[in-house]
Amino acid sequence: MFAIFFKMNKFIYYSLIVIGFLFTSCVPTKDLIYLQSKDDKLVNEPIHQTVLKPYRLQTNDVISITIKALDQKLVAMFSSSESAEKSKSEIGLYFDGYTIDDHGNIRIPVLGDLNVLGYTIDEVRILVEKRLLEEYFNKEANIFVTVKLAGIRYTINGEIAGPGTKTLYQDKVTILEAIANSGDITVTGDRKSVSVIRQFPHGIEMHDIDLTDLKVLQSPYYYIQPNDYIYVKPLKQKTWGTGTTGIQSLGTVITLLSVATTTFLLLNRL
């Protein structure tokens, strides 16, 4: 009786170890859901996003400038090429757009060099319009200038389905849109600690944000900026190599027990 009781206790003991192992090695559902309300006071309450400050241009940014007038022939000489207005590909914008050099300048046909480092898009538009009206045209020409960022280019790496450098042709892009455009974070990616590395005139800053928390909508890093680097860290479950679901973890445990049993039987035969 004592031997049977001992064996039963031993079976229960090992069963509890296996169950505990399964629970600790699986990725909890709460770690996979974006924008959870972790404060009961925020349920059904509007979230006030942080006011998005106008982006200020930095070196290596690419902008597109379109100049129009009543008589388009008058402004043709200020265009780099006809394909610049028609091309929407990244390659086309690279060759036909205006890249800000290391000194903060862009070079426009006829107008020459313009320093736009630290300017907003609207400030560049006003600068170009002012130069054109002062030096080449009068108000009756009805000059119309459009300035846009040549897409928002970012790099994403780590636990993401489609890592790499991407470009979205939008004026504003959230980090969730950037992640969705890259195929979403994998099951083993840490959504609670996504790093955003951002360039500023004074240097580079890195900030971690929790995408499972609804309060991320109020973060200044919720909207990405050109040349942002996004890194998704791995969860501990990946480094353990035990599996991300209960089925996978159970398979790992069964494999380990089989190896241990086989080794034990072989040693007893020696």
For residue 116, give the CATH number of its domain: 3.30.1950.10
Query: Do residue 110 and residue 162 come from a single domain?
Result: no
Residue 42: the pLDDT is 56
- 155 and 46, same domain (yes or no): yes
Q: Looking at residue 2, what is its pLDDT?
A: 43
Question: What pLDDT shows up at residue 41?
Answer: 60
- Greatest CA separation found in the chain? 107
Query: The domain containing residue 145 runs over which residues?
Result: 62-149
| Residue 266 domain-assigned (yes or no) | no
Task: Say yes or no: 45 and 161 in one domain.
Answer: yes
DSSP state of 185: B
145 plus 35 within the same structural domain: no
* Residue 208 pLDDT greater than 50, yes or no: yes
Q: Choose between 105 and 110: higher pLDDT.
A: 105
Whether 131 is covered by a domain: the verdict is yes
> What mean pLDDT comes out for the span 186-201?
92
Q: What is the C-alpha to C-alpha distance for residues 47 and 106, in angstroms, rounded to an integer? A: 39
Give the domain-ending residue among 116, 149, 182: 149
Considering the domain boundaries, does residue 205 fall inside one?
yes
Domain count along the chain: 2
Which domain-ending residue is among 149, 180, 203? 149
- Could you tell me if 99 and 160 are in contact, meaning their C-beta atoms sit under 8 angstroms apart? no
Residue with tokens 């928390």, as numbered in its chain = 213
- Pairing mode, strands 189-200 and 144-149: unpaired
Q: What is the pLDDT of residue 198?
A: 94
Non-local (6+) Cβ contacts of 59 within 8 A are 100, 101, 102, 104, 117
Same-domain pairing of 80 and 97: yes
On whether both 138 and 186 belong to a single domain, the answer is no
Give the pLDDT confidence score for residue 140 in this predicted structure.
Answer: 77
Map residue 230 onto helix, strand or coil.
Answer: strand
Mean pLDDT of 212-221: 91
Residues 136 and 155 in one domain: no
